[in-house]
Chains A and B, each alone.
Chain A
Amino acid sequence: DAGITQSPRHKVTETGTPVTLRCHQTENHRYMYWYRQDPGHGLRLIHYSYGVKDTDKGEVSDGYSVSRSKTEDFLLTLESATSSQTSVYFCAIRSDRRQETQYFGPGTRLLVL
Chain B
Amino acid sequence: KQEVTQIPAALSVPEGENLVLNCSFTDSAIYNLQWFRQDPGKGLTSLLLIQSSQREQTSGRLNASLDKSSGRSTLYIAASQPGDSATYLCAIALSNFGNEKLTFGTGTRLTIIP
Interface residues of A (CB under 8 A from B): 31, 33, 40-45, 48, 50, 58, 90, 92, 94, 96, 98-107
Digitize B47-91: 1 where CB-to-A-CB distance is under 8 Å, 0 elsewhere. 001010000000000000000000000000000000000000101
What chain B residues lie within 8 Å of A43 (beta carbons)?
44, 89, 91, 102, 104
What chain A residues lie within 8 Å of B107 (beta carbons)?
42
The reply to whether A48 and B99 contact each other, CB–CB distance below 8 Å, is yes
Report Cα–Cα, A14/B43, bound state, in Å: 25
What chain B residues lie within 8 Å of A99 (beta carbons)?
31-32, 49, 51, 100
Kindly provide the distance from the CB of B28 to the nearest chain A CB, expressed in whole angstroms: 18
The reply to whether A103 and B46 contact each other, CB–CB distance below 8 Å, is yes
What chain B residues lie within 8 Å of A102 (beta carbons)?
46, 100, 102
The reply to whether B101 and A48 contact each other, CB–CB distance below 8 Å, is yes
What chain A residues lie within 8 Å of B105 (beta carbons)?
42
Report Cα–Cα, A48/B94, bound state, in Å: 14
Report Cα–Cα, A98/B31, bound state, in Å: 10
The reply to whether A101 and B46 contact each other, CB–CB distance below 8 Å, is yes
Interface residues of B (CB under 8 A from A): 4, 31-32, 34, 36, 41-46, 49, 51, 89, 91, 98-102, 104-107
The reply to whether B99 and A104 contact each other, CB–CB distance below 8 Å, is no
Report Cα–Cα, A45/B104, bound state, in Å: 9
Kindly provide the distance from the CB of B23 to the nearest chain A CB, expressed in whole angstroms: 12
A42-B105, A43-B89, A99-B51 are known contacts. Are A104 and B98 too (CB-CB below 8 A)?
Answer: no
Report Cα–Cα, A77/B100, bound state, in Å: 23
A40-B106, A99-B32 are known contacts. Are A45 and B44 too (CB-CB below 8 A)?
Answer: no
The reply to whether B99 and A31 contact each other, CB–CB distance below 8 Å, is yes
Report Cα–Cα, A103/B36, bound state, in Å: 10
The reply to whether A58 and B101 contact each other, CB–CB distance below 8 Å, is yes
Report Cα–Cα, A64/B67, bound state, in Å: 36
Q: Which of B32, B46, B106 lies in contact with A42, CB distance below 8 A? A: B106
What chain B residues lie within 8 Å of A90 (beta carbons)?
43-44
Kindly provide the distance from the CB of A60 to the nearest chain B CB, expressed in whole angstroms: 12
What chain B residues lie within 8 Å of A42 (beta carbons)?
4, 89, 104-107
